[in-house]
Amino acid sequence: MRNTAYVYDPFNLRHTLEGHPENYRRLEQTWALLQRDGILDRLMQIPSSPAPLDAVLRVHTPRYIEALQQIADGGGGQIDGDTYVNPDSYHAALLAAGGLLNLTDAVLYGQADNGFALIRPPGHHALVHRGMGFCLLNNVAIAARWAQDRHGVGRVLVVDFDVHHGNGTQDIFYEDPTVMFFSTHQFPYYPGTGAADELGVELGHGVNVNVPFPAYVGDQGYLRAFRRLLAPAVRDFRPDVIFLSAGFDAHWMDPLAGMQLSITGYAALVEELLGLADDLCHGKLICVLEGGYHLDVLAHSVLTTFRVLSGSPQGISDPFGQPPEGERNVTQLIDRLANLHGFKAPPFYSLRA
């Protein structure tokens, strides 16, 4: 068993807009399932607190943060057509980022082996100068900089398996050789970024790895990408800590996308990341919630992730099973991406997952 920590603050439920897919019910229903299951009794709870402003400003501009606070103080409004702010949103966003920072402290100080931040609003679309795509603050980017600034971490890996490309995270670290960004996502799809040739620039060239999947890729394709592309990239990069932007909207039942992952498939991806973390950075894997808009799927995906992280003998919680139709074969795409990045097939490599 591993010592797995979590952070959760019910104030995050107060950032909500009725009729919007990113609403309070995402966390409420997930939290209810975790309580019924009893797994929380075996995990370490980390307290939540607002992120220090200096940590937020390591990623976002003062002008944007001031504007975000003003919108909330003025009763709320829209940043864009997808992204709302209500009177509680600014504080909820600070709590989301701050909770992740507290969890990061717990893992990097050795109090926990790994952890999961059950936070919202999500973050991976948020740019330096504005929010977008349901996201207000880029939580994982703030935590990556925190790990470097406060803990002396040299190299950070951010993996993002949300169905939408984490354009904000990519943009923030696009020139930075100390942060590797690896993303699997449906493409072309919102937000339109994440092409294979987006490799980073200047000193950051080569540490940005995109896997732009067509629709209907499922468990086998994702696992092949992790084994054929992520594993060699990470072993060469040798991170000191791994963050996972854990969006569960590539599930075959999610209403906002068109992929074929199952909860069992997600569990396999987290297992792969745990193995890499064990080999390269003493098991330091920190997950942060991003998307996932089928409420029951999201809840069971999070429960399953906690079971994998903690080594629970209860195993996978997947009442939905496999998609009714088979998945698209992306072997040739993955081979082309491996060639693009110069990843040679390891000895005895097989395309069979």
Q: Which H, E and C letters describe 274-310, residue by residue? A: HHHHHHHHCCCEEEEECCCCCHHHHHHHHHHHHHHHH
Would you give the DSSP letter of residue 8? E
Please tell me whether the overall predicted TM-score, pTM, comes out greater than 0.85 for this model. Answer: yes
Q: Helix, strand, coil % (nearest 5) of the chain?
A: 40, 15, 45
Q: Please report, in tens digits, the pLDDT of each residue of the chain (353 residues total).
A: 899 999 999 999 999 999 999 999 999 999 999 999 999 999 999 999 999 999 999 999 999 999 999 999 999 999 999 999 999 999 999 999 999 999 999 999 999 999 999 999 999 999 999 999 999 999 999 999 999 999 999 999 999 999 999 999 999 999 999 999 999 999 999 999 999 999 999 999 999 999 999 999 999 999 999 999 999 999 999 999 999 999 999 999 999 999 999 999 999 999 999 999 999 999 999 999 999 999 999 999 999 999 999 999 999 999 999 999 999 999 999 999 999 999 987 654 454 44
Half-sphere exposure of 170 (CA within 13 A, CB side): 27
Q: pLDDT digits over 306-338, tens only? A: 999 999 999 999 999 999 999 999 999 999 999
Q: Tokens representing 213?
A: 């999947």
- Residues 309/4, Cβ–Cβ less than 8 Å: yes
Q: What is the rounded distance in angstroms from the CA atom of residue 95 to the CA atom of residue 50?
A: 4
The number of beta carbons lying within 10 Å of the beta carbon of residue 10 is 12
The amino acid at residue 303 is L
- Residues 332/196, Cβ–Cβ less than 8 Å: no
Q: What is the CA radius of gyration of the chain?
A: 19
Q: What is the rounded distance in angstroms from the CA atom of residue 289 to the CA atom of residue 302?
A: 9
| Cis status of the peptide bond prior to 21, with omega within 30 of 0 | no
Whose CA is closest to 119, among 251, 296, 287, 271? 287
b (16+ CB within 10 A) / e for 88-113? bbbbbbbbbbbbbbbbbbbbbeeebb
Residues labelled catalytic: 125
**pLDDT at position 344:** 81
Beta-strand ranges (E) seen in the chain are 4-8, 44-46, 77-78, 84-85, 114-118, 156-160, 179-186, 208-213, 241-246, 285-289
Would you give the DSSP letter of residue 227? I
Q: What is the rounded distance in angstroms from the CA atom of residue 64 to the CA atom of residue 274?
A: 35
**pLDDT at position 345:** 72
Q: Tokens representing 38?
A: 């009893």
Q: What is the rounded distance in angstroms from the CA atom of residue 60 to the CA atom of residue 64?
A: 7
Give the CA dihedral 309, 126, 100, 19, nearest 10 degrees.
-80
Q: What is the rounded distance in angstroms from the CA atom of residue 193 to the CA atom of residue 166?
A: 8
